[in-house]
Amino acid sequence: MARGKVRYWAAAKEAAGLAEEPFEAATLGELMTKITQDRSDLARVMSRSSFLVDGSPVGRRAHDEVRLHDGATVEVLPPFAGG
C-alpha cells in the first residue's frame, strides 16, 4: 500500500471541498474508490476527469493497472472550459 497525496483542481476541488488530501492505495483504481465513497459529487466529477501521477498523464490506461508508490502525487483534472 502506497501513501501519497491527491491534488484536486477546479470542479474537483469544489466537489471534494479541499485542495488536497493524503491517500493510502496500491492503484489509481483503488484510490478512486476510496476517495469517492460517500462523495457522490466528487465521483461524478472524477468520472469525467483526467489524471496525472507524478506529472505523467494516465491517459486511457485501466486505473486498476496504474500502480502508485510511496510519495506519489495524483492530480485530478476535470475538463476545463476554453482551453
Note the pLDDT tens digit of each residue in 40-51.
999 999 999 999
Residue type, 38: D
Q: What is the mean pLDDT of residues 3-27?
A: 97
Residue range 58-80, pLDDT digits in tens: 999 999 999 999 999 999 999 87
Count of domains observed in the chain: 1
Average pLDDT taken over every residue of the chain: 95
Q: Is 10 left (phi over 0), alpha (psi -120 to 50) or beta?
A: left
- Domain coverage including residue 15: 1-49
pLDDT of residue 80: 77
Instruction: Confirm whether 45 is domain-assigned.
Output: yes
Instruction: Confirm whether 10 is domain-assigned.
Output: yes
Residue of 48 and 83 predicted with greater confidence: 48
Instruction: Confirm whether 4 is domain-assigned.
Output: yes
